Structure 1
Amino acid sequence: MRQILAHPRVVRVENNLEQDMSLVAHVDAGLGSRWQAEGASPNGVFAVEPVTIQFSEHYPNRCPEVALRHDFDRSHPHLLPGSPDQPPRPCYIDGHPHDFLRLRGMHGVMSQLASWLEKAAAAELIDPSQGWEPVRRDRLDDYVEVDADALRALVTKDGGGVFFRTPFTTIGEGNRRSMCCHVLERLQLRENVAQALQRQYGQIGIAVVVWPGRSPEGGELIAAAYSPETVANVGDLFERATSFGLFRQLDSQLGLIRRRLNGIPAGVPKVIAVTLLVRRPMGIIGHGSRIEILPYVIEVSTPDDLAPGSLCPVRLAAHREAVSSKLMAAMSGGEDVTDPPNWTLLGAGSVGSKLALHLAREGKGPRVVIDSGLMRPHNYSRHGLLPLSRFDALNDVKAQALSYSVKMLGGASTGYYSDVNWLASEGTSEEWKVAWPRDTQILVDATGSPSVTDALCLPRIVESRPRVVETSLFADGRIAYLGLEGPGIDPTVQDLAAESYRIFAANETLRNLAFNSDGTTVSIGQGCSTVTARMSDACLSAPIPAMARQISKLLNEGLTEGLGTITIGLVADDLLSQTWWKHEIPSFIKLTGDHQDAPSVRISQHVSNQIDKTIGLFQGVETGGVLIGRFNESTNSFHIVDLIEAPADSKFTASLFSLGIAGLPELIAEHAARSHGTLYPVGTWHNHLSDTSASKTDYATGVQLAFGQRFPAVILIRTPSEYHGLVVEASGATNEKSVLATAYRVSEKGA
């Protein structure tokens, strides 16, 4: 009481604590001088308003109830629902008053009440520039769960009403009972509808939705007057419907339900959820629609409970959105997902499941999930899904289990039990159309399998698939990798993998973690068991939200422009910090031959820039060096991502470059050690001063290199206008008298 009296806007206080634990605070409403002289504002707010503060034995854990004088104008917005027999109660805080009391105390409560009265006097409780303030329906125990947009889409100019199948659930008992009506599909009220619902659910739950028609003048019927919620029984509900121009529609719909309920035993639970759709003069705040949704719940004993004069109690209900992609996007602060993005997830394991669920909670779950695995007990140590009962989990297909969870979050998703590697390498075009339909934006490869990476780059599939985002974790989850192919699938995920090894090798911290061969593995089961990495769920989960965020941005912004990218994250050992680097990777230069067996040679812009820089330093002579990269047998392709400069004993002339050997073995060994063997010499490069192709010397050099290594050798030639080259492969055992060498000419033009 002393705190309230100390507030500067409190004129005096009536102490009724001994009688009923209440105080009446007379609050200065902050009227202007002219209104103060008149004693009230034009809309009836007194210069000094009596406010009843009703304490309870639970104070201070519960905020006291606040009520205005009984004859306070109820057309003000921001009034809590209640019976007209009780004094109106202001909604003075956006949030729960109990929490506000803990933060600000009774002094803060009085400040909010004084501000509310001042705004009420000035008719500023609603800001028209923000929209129409919906009728207060907070702090209610009952809910009608339905997609608001689907309801608003029903509204027509001529008015009408529809029914929905609406099973209900009840929690608690007595005054603490809470009901939720789950509005499902449209329902035709045929003669046997009540009996059918009783057989299906053991209860009868029907939702009635009505909306207004035209005004007497023929235009839209608009409810422009604000009035608080005062419905307590069915008679009150009809009166409220009448005020909105909805009596005819409500009477027609409830009248039909009354006829359908005839003959149903009184002991069968029957709940009718009534929703009035009211057209307001401006958009509802936060919704962008002029249609306000006012739901009510009626527990029916006999059909006559639904008659217009019935005193059957009506429970005020709050609207609760059904789970949908739209709701997930709104709660995530994202854009409207009226047309959710379409993407396919390859691999529904630990990483893939967590990525899928993060994105599904943004309204962007995968439309297709592909995996050939089954959920096994050890998977749950890190998987995004929770275990089912032992019986249900016997053959729980990962892809289908994950897609089901995505659907439960409002997405449209289908799971396919298929081996991703087989699908990519041996699948048919018809199977691919199912796995990634025509409008699929991206494929997200979360398998962590190099075999899948290679299979996705086979020439036949590259022509038939969208761009790929590849995700994987290294070093017990300390390093996260996300690679995005460039437009036109250039660079490919194979190119990006080779580039990532170069990036890892150049960074001591990444190198020591990513190429550490001492990773701990765990055997699961006996015999031909699964071997999996030992890693806590916290370690695995730490970088995945950032990766999901990057994929989300890609889906939002589209993939028509831009370069390929490699995004690498480093997570601290204690998980308390993360560092991320993003590298833009331009398209690779591609050399091909005129023979179907000719390997392709793909050169990174990083390497090409280094070559041109070296040539610029050696004007008038040929120069060269050693090519570093990888050879992939699956796709018969070279991926060149780095160079070793020519040793000091190399010879540079206008007609010949001769690669020296001084210190070269040591440089090669050092390079191989830095990349842990992921990158290695694949050939040499040199330039020609004119636009000439390979010479006899180049052929001879290529043969020598091919005999000295276990895979084809590249002789790359840079001319002033383009790249030429040779790929030379030796065949036959080295101890045979006759050994063949096959040389393929390659160039940017494919000659």
Structure 2
Amino acid sequence: MPEPMVMLQDHARNFAKLARLHSECVSAKVEAIHSDHAVIFIELNVEMPLRMRAKGVSDSGVKRREEVLVKLPQSYPWVSPRFYLRRSFPRNLPHLYPAPMDEMPVPCIVDGKLDEYFAQFGLLEAGVFSLLNQLVKWLQNAAQGTLISASQGWEPTLRESLDSLLFLNAEHVRENVNRRGGFRLQKATFLRSGSNEDQLLDKAMTFVTCSDEAVPLNSFANSIEAEVLKSKLCRGHTVCIVLWSGKDASGKEFVDDEYASETVTTFSDLKARADRFGCRSHFDTVLAGLERVWELACRSKKVGSEQSYFVCPIPVTVIFCVRRPVRLIGEHNQSSIEILPYTVEFRPSSDSKSLLQHGNDEPVAPCSQLDITNPTLLRNVSGEEDLSPVAFLGAGSVGSKIALHLAKCGVEISAITDNGNLSPHNNARHALIAPAGGLFNKAKCLADEMRMLGQTVEANDIDLREITDAVSAKRILPKRTQFALNTTASLLVREAVDQAQGVTVKLAEGALFAEGNGAYLLCEGDKRNPRVSDLVAEMYAVAPDAVLKQLTDERHGLTEVQIGQGCASLTMRISDAQVSSMSATLSQKFTRWMKEKPANGRINLGLSDPNTLNCHWQELEVDEFTIVPIDGIEGWQLRISARVINIIQGERAKFSDVETGGVLIGVVSARLKSITVVDTLEAPDDSKRSATLFVLGTSGLKESIRARYLESGHTLIDVGTWHTHLSNCGPSDIDRKTAQDIANERPPPSVLLIVAPDNLFAISAKAV
């Protein structure tokens, strides 16, 4: 006996010896040793209720003692033993692998891969005993009818490890099922391996992808075609036939509530399944219709010439939509419709115009059904909620990665806008790979990638700085959009979108800084208050010192990187891993904001330690800004942080019987015609307060203003002053004269804020 067979014999004897030690094993005997496997028969005691025990068989057909065939493959113990039940074992039980009726059924005794389960036990004896325990439990549950529980849902028919595959949008198929019953043809493509003589269930395998597009029955002949890719490999167009039942004899929806393992192997078996599933009449109708359409096509010479017969058999997949009594296990949509697909091959020839060459004996292959990549599938796999559509402004390194993170979680991306092109240096960290040569727009390339995820994305090759009116805004923010994320880190883009008419979606802005060790995400509040521009100013006012230092340090900002002879690009030196790490967190924080939909604005600041890679994030809530029209310069407005309002009201309460005031610190934008206030400086010690007048002192004021400017990284400046009135009167003549004097002294708009008991007044003036 060859050495491999000797080893198999030793393993088989050891397995039988171990099996006999199991408390439920009645006998174990080595039956045969072959070149590639050993055969062992074991007899197991199956515990069942006394009533069934007395009969020697359970109500489900499981015997008091069951004989099981065990095969030890030649590669044992690197692979698990295989277990086979008697051929007459009942097939109306779950957790049985697909098998023809004339073959021994195989039970599914573990959740997952059997080999992996067996391999987790380092001690061989422990692995064997564990498998026997699982097998005994399976037989006991089969006897007692507890392999599945209706409270958990309907266990889909086990169709693992089948050679033929069907890819389709299961939810779309289910949506077409109605109470009347019927059928629907849908366009499909196929890939077939095997020679023309090879048949399904033998050497031929098919991979069918079903689209959502319907095909009229009379267009069937024009919907199928094939071409040879290489020897024994063809592809082409075909159809899928979707069938579903209507009502039963009592007028209720037809429901199949009896479990059946997969045993279909012939067209005759397939017709029997159509009977069982309550749609035989529709099955016969559509098959007769296909034969008739084909015959008419042959007569009209649309097919039938030598060139018209196909270069390979045409796989057609029949999809039964079967109503079950309860929802399916694992179906996130709580559907009770199980999808059971089978592929048959049409082989019309010059000898026989019939579509089925072998009639009822034509081989039929049950298919494993896999969902086409689509947002619903991605949401289910990711465990993500169904979130509102998002538009992306910018498709650079950060934007492309966040967009793909969201798309892979099933978030609908409504539009991507970027007028930049992919260049070779983008390959260092962009989510896409730039093709060699040519100009490829970033937004369009990213949209193409997302279409493979089942997305329908509008790609815009537009300069975002030119978004000024409602028409252009609608283009970058389609009607269904509810959120938008700007990842350009461009001040001009931010302000262009802020001032564009008709922008009602909630915007956020995300960017990296400090060579990718820092990141921020700014999220607008309800009714776009605070808006992103407000949040940027607020960020510079409230960011922790460590973050602010990195945010404003010129050494860690944009640097000139040489990317080609005689040319350069403004970008940060940063690895793809670092961009991916920070972008992934930004995408998580962005989706959390979408879910929570807070009324206030939100600032997220993150800073990682390049040595330890630990990242600390801080989240700040920002209340809505108070908006005051500025009298004296048309169209301008003063936007005041709620934090500043609280500071001012605190000072007002402190000096309740006199007028008081201070300096306003913030930013000015001529493009937005706004002055944004995010901080104040206390009035100098030489300031004068009385019941009718406040005079701002000058002692150390310039030094304080400059210090605040430097502290903010050259961002926050003196934008005006504020003072209180004890009554609700507006600006006095003195106030207006002061505003004019200030306007004549310095070019930027400077505001005077008057804080009355019940009102706020803002005034400014033009230089004269």
Is the TM-score greater than 0.5? yes
Closer/same/farther in 2, CA of residues 729 and 111 from structure 1, 3 Å limit:
farther
Structure 2: which amino acid aligns with 1:296?
Y
Name the residue aligned to 1:496. Answer: 535
Indicate which of 388, 402, 406 corresponds to 1:341.
388
CA shift at 1:499, angstroms?
0.1
The change in CA–CA distance for 1:720 and 1:533 in structure 2 (over 3 A counts) is: same
Residue from 479, 483, 501 that aligns with 2:518: 479
C-alpha distance in structure 1 between counterparts of 2:745 and 2:440, whole Å = 51
Could you say which residue in structure 1 is the equivalent of 2:283? 250
- 2:373 matched to which residue of 1? 323
1:59 to 63, 73, 76: 76
> What is the rounded CA distance, in whole Å, between the counterparts of 2:610 and 2:26 in structure 1?
61
Q: Does 1:265 align with 2:325?
A: no
Q: In the aligned structure 2, how far is the partner of 1:528 from the partner of 1:566?
A: 36
Query: 1:237 and 2:287 equivalent?
Result: no
Residue 359 of structure 1 corresponds to 406
1:664 equivalent to 2:696? Answer no
Deviations 1:54-82 (A, max 9, x none): 11112222222211222222222211110
Q: Which residue is 1:401 aligned to?
A: 445
Query: Counterparts of 2:341 and 2:172 in 1: how far apart (Å)?
Result: 15
For residue 484 of structure 2, the aligned residue among 443, 463, 466 is 443
Taking the aligned partners of 1:376 and 1:172, their CA distance within structure 2 comes to 43
Corresponding residue number in structure 2 for 1:547: 586
Query: Secondary structure of 2:75's partner?
Result: coil
Contact 1:443 1:469 in 2 (8 A): yes
Specify every segment of 5 or more residues in structure 2 that has no aligned partner in the other structure, as ranges. 1-14, 122-126, 229-233, 299-303
Per the TM alignment, residue 639 of structure 1 is displaced from its structure 2 partner at its CA by 0.7
Aligned to 2:427: 380
Contact 1:255 1:307 in 2 (8 A): no
Offset from partner CA, 1:112-163 (integer Å, 9 cap, x none): 2122112112111121112222211112122111111222233334433232
Q: In structure 1, what is the equivalent of residue 320 of structure 2?
A: 276
How far apart are the structure 2 equivalents of 1:626 and 1:594? 19
* 1:556 Cα deviation after fit: 4.2
CA displacement at 1:328 relative to structure 2: 1.5
Shift of 1:94: 2.1
Q: Contact 1:539 / 1:575 at 8 angstroms: preserved in 2?
A: no
Q: Which amino acid aligns with 1:222?
A: V
Secondary structure of the residue that 1:497 maps to in structure 2?
helix
**Structure 1 range deviating more: 56-65 or 153-162:** 153-162
Matches within 5 A, 1:533-544: 533-544=572-583
Q: CA deviation at 1:226?
A: 1.7
The within-5 A match list for 1:145-164 is: 145-164=167-186
Shift of 1:399: 1.7
Query: What letter corresponds to residue 623 of structure 2 in structure 1?
Result: P
Match of 2:339 among 287, 293, 300: 293
Residue matched to 2:216: 188
Calculate the aligned-residue CA RMSD, in Å: 2.8
How far the C-alpha of 1:323 sits from its partner, in A, is: 1.7
The answer (yes or no) to whether the contact 1:203–1:269 under 8 Å persists in 2 is no
**TM-score if structure 2 supplies the norm length?**
0.87
Partner residue in 1 for 2:12: none
**1:655-734 matches, cutoff 5 A:** 655-730=692-767
* Equivalence for 2:191: 169
Amino acid at match of 2:458: T
CA change 1:3–1:567 in 2 (3 A) is farther
C-alpha distance in structure 2 between counterparts of 1:257 and 1:535, whole Å:
61
Distance 1:617 1:172 in 2: 89
Q: CA deviation at 1:566?
A: 1.4
- Which residue does 2:10 correspond to in 1? none
Gap change, CA 1:176 and 1:683, over 3 Å in 2: farther
Letter in 1 for 2:429: R
Provide Cα deviations, 1:324-355, integer angstroms capped at 9, x if missing partner. Answer: 121111111123x4xx7333221121122112
Q: How has the CA–CA distance of structure 1 residues 463 and 432 changed in structure 2, closer, same or farther, with 3 Å as cutoff? A: closer
Q: Is the 8 A contact 1:542 1:575 kept in 2?
A: no
Who is 1:179 aligned against? 206
Is the 2:623–2:642 Cα contact (8 Å) retained in structure 1? yes
Report the CA distance shift for 1:656/1:293 in structure 2 as closer, same or farther (over 3 A). Answer: same
Q: Are the aligned partners of 1:144 and 1:318 in contact in 2 as well (CA < 8 Å)? A: yes
**What are the superposed Cα offsets for residues 508-530 of structure 1, whole Å, 9 maximum, x if unpaired?**
21022111111343133345643
SS in 1 for 2:456: coil
The alpha carbon displacement at 1:232 in A equals 1.6
345-354 vs 268-277, greater mean Cα deviation: 268-277
Structure 1 stretches lacking a partner, 5+ long: 731-739, 741-751
Q: Is the 8 A contact 1:166 1:206 kept in 2?
A: yes
Q: Structure 1 residues 276, 575: CA separation in 2 closer, same or farther (over 3 Å shift)?
A: farther
Report which stretch shifted further, 93-102 or 261-270.
261-270
SS in 2 for 1:166: strand
520, 523, 531: which one aligns with 2:562: 523
State the Cα deviation string for residues 162-182 of structure 1 (Å, max 9, x = none).
Answer: 322222124689978652101
Is 1:136 the equivalent of 2:158? Answer: yes
Contact 1:280 1:290 in 2 (8 A): yes
Letter in 2 for 1:125: L
1:222 aligns with 2:255: yes
**Aligned counterparts of 1:331 and 1:441: Cα–Cα separation in 2:** 24
Letter in 1 for 2:687: S
SS of residue paired to 1:654? coil
Q: Do the aligned partners of 1:523 and 1:531 also contact (CA within 8 Å) in 2?
A: no
Query: Following the alignment from structure 1 to structure 2, what is the Cα–Cα distance between the partners of residues 141 and 192?
Result: 26
Deviates most, 240-249 or 261-270 = 261-270
2:406 and 2:662 map into 1 onto residues whose CA distance is: 46
In the alignment, structure 1 residue 314 sits paired with structure 2 residue 371: no
Q: Is the 8 A contact 2:658 2:691 kept in 1?
A: yes
Q: Describe the SS at the equivalent of 2:258.
A: coil
Q: 1:94 & 1:42 partners in 2: Cα distance? A: 25
CA distance in 2, matches of 1:613, 1:204: 75
Mean Cα displacement is larger for which, 248-257 or 413-422? 248-257
- CA–CA distance in structure 2, aligned partners of residues 725 and 633 of structure 1: 17
Question: 1:575/1:443 Cα in 2 relative to 1: closer, same or farther (>3 Å)?
Answer: farther
CA distance in 1: counterparts of 2:501 and 2:396, whole angstroms = 24
CA drift of 1:449 comes to 0.4
Q: Distance in 1 between matches of 2:286 and 2:389?
A: 40
Q: Tell me how far 1:675 sits from its aligned partner.
A: 0.8
Q: SS where residue 70 of structure 1 aligns?
A: coil
**Structure-2 change in CA distance of 1:575 and 1:52 (3 Å):** farther
Cα 1:308–1:141 change in 2 (3 A) is closer
Write the deviation string for residues 284-320 of structure 1: whole angstroms up to 9, x where unpaired: 2233233221111223434556278532322221111
In 2: Cα distance, 1:680 partner to 1:358 partner = 38
Cross-structure match for 1:747: none
Deviation at 1:575, TM superposition (A): 7.2
Normalising by structure 1, we get a TM-score of 0.88
Shift of 1:652: 3.0
Cα distance in 2 between the residues matched to 1:610 and 1:481: 26
C-alpha distance 608-567 of structure 1, shift in aligned 2 (>3 A): same
Structure 1 residue 26, shift from structure 2 partner: 2.9
Structure 1 residue 86 displacement after superposition: 1.4
1:85 CA displacement: 1.0
Q: Equivalents in 2 of 1:534, 1:617: separation in Å?
A: 50
Mapped partners of 1:649, 1:128: distance in 2: 82
Q: Distance in 1 between matches of 2:422 and 2:282?
A: 52
Residue 10 of structure 1 aligns to which amino acid in structure 2?
Answer: C
Paired amino acid for 1:301: R
Matched, 1:456 2:497: yes
Q: 1:639–1:74: structure 2 CA closer, same or farther, 3 Å change rule? A: same
Pair 1:699–1:65, CA change in 2 (3 A):
same
